[in-house]
Amino acid sequence: MIPINHLAVFMMLGFALILGLGLLGLSALLGRVKPDPRKLSTYECGVPPSGSPRNRYSIKFYLIAIFFLIFDIEIAFLFPWALIVKSQIPLGPMVIGEMFLFIALLLVGYFYIWKKGALDWNS
Amino acid sequence: MWHDIIFWILAVLCVSCALCVVWQRNPVVSAVFLVGSFLALAGLYLNLSAPFLAAIQVIIYAGAIMVLFVFVMMLLDLHHPLDLYFRFTKLKFPKLIVLLLFSWFLCTLILATAFPLAAPQTSQGFTISQIATLLFSKYAFPFELTSLLLLIAMVGGVVLAKKK
Amino acid sequence: MTLLDFTILAAKVVLVMSVLLSTVPILVWVERRGSAFIQDRLGPNLVGPFGLLQPLADVVKFLFKEDPIPIAAHRFLFPLAPLCSLVPAAVTFAAIPFGDTIDLWGKTITLQIADINVGLLYIVAFGSLGIYGILLAGWSSNNKYSILGALRSSAQMISYEVALGASLIGPLMVYGTFSLREMVHLQASHWGILLQPVAFITFFISAFAECNRLPFDLPEGEAELVAGFHTEYGSMKFALFFMAEYLHMITISALTVTLFFGGWQLIPGLVPLAQWIGVATYPTSIGLSLLQVFSFTLKIGFFLWLFIWIRWTFPRFRYDQLMSFGWKILIPVALGNIFLTTLAIYLKWI
């Protein structure tokens, strides 16, 4: 039997989806439909669009995404650790040492990427 | 009752999103369907009373890894290689044979599994504190190795992207 | 689970969502009048008394206006993007407790929609899903400015999400639980900000960047990139983005209050005032529950006003300043907070 709290999450999701789709549908029903090529063309401050939007963009975005992934995984490990740290400390400082080693290794990487300039948006 | 309804909705969603990943021509739309598949999977975990796993699935998989995928798709401006596509559509007979073989393989696997019995017998599931304690006592060494892996990934990313 | 439980749950969902959705127009009004007040001008004051019906007029306008899909836009992803923005923002409020318990019809109803024991992780998870709305909106518009704005906005959001997550570790260590209800119970004697001030500052700053609010709103800054990722959006789809932003603001304010300011714990001095007015306040009375909800609302209202106040007071950051701040200052500060908290717990100060 599913606990009622989990059912609540699904219910909330369903409600939000119905709300969003309902609003979009209502607007599609009630809004006027008068397509005009100038209205529907891509916006570029009034002039015809020059160049394609499908260019290659800077690789800095890719680097930021990779660093975000790595630090997000680190934080995902920090979450359960934070939960038990208070109760496990009386049993010895080992649990702190493990996590500090984890963070230290990642800090090595962090300082490396800082020094290499991967965190500078200008270069 | 709710358990089954939610399971069927999420399972159908998951499988159809996964199929759409393969059928879409546009890589960004494929990535979006993959996100949908992961979210359905997280819902299935929640349905099986594993809320921590569901949350971590959404945070890491759907929220970080797929963001990276979508960024890459958007940055790379991929055109589907048209000549490769047309070359392979001509081989109708080999495609059919491979499809039949694969479906037979898959069906044999599915039918050979005794589903209710093959599921692992967890008595009441783990609480998060138990998972955490296990992680930092019994599995501490793989945990430290993970940090090394992440360090390698960071350095590798910088090396790849900053070739002067 | 009986039918009564189910009905109560459905009623809670409908009630909370209605309150949330009706707070959005109020926030719009407060923003427009508040910004006018700060900028020494009148805001909307023609539609209804003090312009109070202005948001309603806006809603009607959004419904009846033409909702175009540009020719160059991707037909499936373009309408999907506002939904991807709205649904996570609307769902996140489910885990936030807005009161203790209330006894009705023989049942004790907890004033929280989903009392899951990973409440905080649930909120972080749906917060990280909000990025897809922006990314998809920018890419599917097929407009140079949209995609550039979307990439910059998402890069900003993911940078500050690391700082957000790291700043949450401190309070987690102190409270020892993910469940938001227990966190509020643990703040009965003193509020969380006394134990984790650094975490509060880091969290609040990251929250601004997460919501794309000034001083971090360069990606949707008006003079910079036309309108950023929602350049091509109009009418109801644009309204959904707007709603998503305000809902996100409300949820982040609610989370700040729950983590650091005692959640629904009564504001000191409220009980004597209530008794002087004549509202009953024994442990499980409806009066007490109403007071708790009122305290909660007041606290959230303060933070929402703070959001608006800061928006119309500060200039915005330049993009490279923004990214440097997120990566080079906030993350070390948040990690430093973790170290300090560990030390404090080890020395049994907390």
Query: How far, rounded to the nearest angstrom, does the alpha carbon of residue C109 sit from its chain's CA centroid?
Result: 24
Looking at residue B83, what is its pLDDT? 54
Query: How far, rounded to the nearest angstrom, does the alpha carbon of residue C299 sit from its chain's CA centroid?
Result: 13
Is residue C55 in a domain? Answer: no
C107-118 residue pLDDT tens: 778 888 888 888
Question: Cβ B58–C77 below 8 Å, yes or no?
Answer: no
Looking at residue B24, what is its pLDDT? 84
Strand C101-104 to strand C107-110: parallel, antiparallel, or no bridges (unpaired)?
antiparallel
Looking at residue C219, what is its pLDDT? 63
Q: What is the average pLDDT across A51-77? A: 85
Looking at residue B17, what is its pLDDT? 95
Q: What is the average pLDDT across C271-278? A: 75
Query: Measured between CB atoms, which of B62, B70, B74 is closest to C129?
Result: B62
Enumerate long-range contacts of C221-225, CB under 8 Å, 24 or more apart.
Answer: C221/C316, C225/C145, C225/C148, C225/C149, C225/C152
The answer to whether residues C295 and C263 touch, using CB atoms and an 8 Å cutoff, is no
Q: Which of C51, C218, C103 is nearest to C149 (CA)?
A: C218
Question: Cβ B158–A83 below 8 Å, yes or no?
Answer: no
Looking at residue A50, what is its pLDDT? 66
Torsion, Cα B66 C160 A61 A65, to 10 degrees, reads -30
H or E segment to which residue C107 belongs: strand C107-110
Is residue C25 in a domain? Answer: no
Q: Which domain holds residue C227?
A: 71-346
Task: List chain B domain ranges.
Answer: 1-111, 126-164
How many other CB atoms sit within 10 Å of the CB of residue B3?
Answer: 14
Looking at residue B39, what is its pLDDT? 95
Residues in chain C: 350
Query: How far, rounded to the nearest angstrom, does the alpha carbon of residue C107 sit from its chain's CA centroid?
Result: 30
The count of domains in chain C is 1
Looking at residue B63, what is its pLDDT? 92
Asked whether residue B79 carries a pLDDT value surpassing 80, the answer given is no
Q: Which of B28-32, B112-116, B156-160, C91-95 has the lowest mean pLDDT?
A: B112-116
Looking at residue B57, what is its pLDDT? 94
Is residue C236 in a domain? Answer: yes
Is residue C11 in a domain? Answer: no
Asked whether residue B124 carries a pLDDT value surpassing 70, the answer given is no
Looking at residue C1, what is its pLDDT? 66
Is residue C313 in a domain? Answer: yes
ipTM confidence score: 0.89
A7 close contact with C: CB closer than 8 A: yes
**Tokens representing residue C257 in the block:** 């209050």
Looking at residue B155, what is its pLDDT? 92
The CA–CA distances, whole Å, from C189 to C111, C185, C194, C253 equal 21, 9, 11, 21
Give the chain C residue whose CA is nearest to the CA of A50: C144
CA pair distance C212, C209, nearest whole angstrom: 5
C116 close contact with B: CB closer than 8 A: yes
C276 close contact with B: CB closer than 8 A: no
The CA–CA distances, whole Å, from C34 to C39, C301, C314 equal 9, 13, 15
Looking at residue B119, what is its pLDDT? 56
Neighbors of chain C by Cβ distance (3+ pairs < 8 Å) = A, B
Asked whether residue A11 carries a pLDDT value surpassing 80, the answer given is yes
Q: Which amino acid is at C105?
A: W
C208-228 residue pLDDT tens: 888 888 777 766 665 555 667
Q: In the CATH scheme, what architecture does the domain B1-111 have?
A: Up-down Bundle (1.20)
A63 close contact with B: CB closer than 8 A: yes
C285-321 residue pLDDT tens: 777 888 889 889 999 999 999 999 998 888 888 888 8
Q: Which residue has the higher pLDDT, B109 or B114?
A: B109
Looking at residue A123, what is its pLDDT? 41
Looking at residue C259, what is its pLDDT? 93
Question: Cβ A9–C91 below 8 Å, yes or no?
Answer: yes
- Looking at chain B, the whole-number percentage of residues with pLDDT higher than 70 is 83
Looking at residue C225, what is its pLDDT? 56
Is residue C286 in a domain? Answer: yes
Looking at residue C210, what is its pLDDT? 85
CA pair distance A78, C339, nearest whole angstrom: 12
Neighbors of chain B by Cβ distance (3+ pairs < 8 Å) = A, C
B143 close contact with A: CB closer than 8 A: yes
Is residue C30 in a domain? Answer: no
Is residue C329 in a domain? Answer: yes
